[in-house]
Amino acid sequence: MFSGKTEELIRRLKRAEIAKLKVEIFKPKTDIRYDETAVVSHDLNSVQSTPVDNSSAILFLNADTQVVGIDEAQFFDEDLPEVCNKLAAKGIRVIVAGLDMDFSGKPFGPMPALMAIAEMVTKVHAVCVCCGSPAMYSYRKVASEARVLLGEKESYEPRCRYCYNTKD
């Protein structure tokens, strides 16, 4: 969540728009941290998007859409990989951003299945706040076992594998 995933998604979608492609963006309705209708990254470089209740709703996209962006994919249901396959089979380019692991270091929601079927996977890493190494873990600073804890920067910090496993 500090790694620039949404920024990278927005960068790719803006390039598609510059190339005059029709772009549509979706995100799960559960992600309401900043704004109801925009994919908002941490530097507030935002792109308009459609919040949807479930992944199947993405299939009701505009008929002329050529590129679909999906943000916060880890919060979607397990049908998202099949939805992406259906879109890709129609010739639509699908670009998905999401957190690959939850706070306990477990694969997050539909992300592992998505990574398996994707042509290309880019892992973007934050910087470990303890030692400065590339960080791929989200260390939760508050005591809760709930998988989803919205509240962002106060509740999590990026850590490398070593610091995630050895430091309090």
Q: Which residue's CB is nearer to Zn ion, number 9 or number 160?
A: 160
Which of 36, 72, 82, 154 is catalytic? The answer is 72
* Annotation marks residue 72 as catalytic: yes
Instruction: Pick one of 80, 99, 128, 136: the residue that binds Zn ion (CB under 5 A).
Output: 128
Between the CA of residue 165 and those of 3, 73, 137, 161, 168, what are the distances in Å? 19, 26, 10, 6, 9
Tokens (6 digits) for 125? 């890493």
Using CB under 5 A as the binding criterion, the count of chain residues that bind Zn ion stands at: 6
Q: How far is the CB of 104 from Zn ion (least distance, A)?
A: 18
Indicate the SS3 state at residue 49. coil
Residue 16, interface with Zn ion (CB under 5 A)?
no
In this structure, are residues 103 and 77 in contact, taking their beta carbons and an 8 Å threshold?
no
Of 24-32, 47-55, 77-85, 124-132, the segment contacting Zn ion by CB under 5 A is: 124-132
Site membership for Zn ion, residue 167 (CB under 5 A):
no
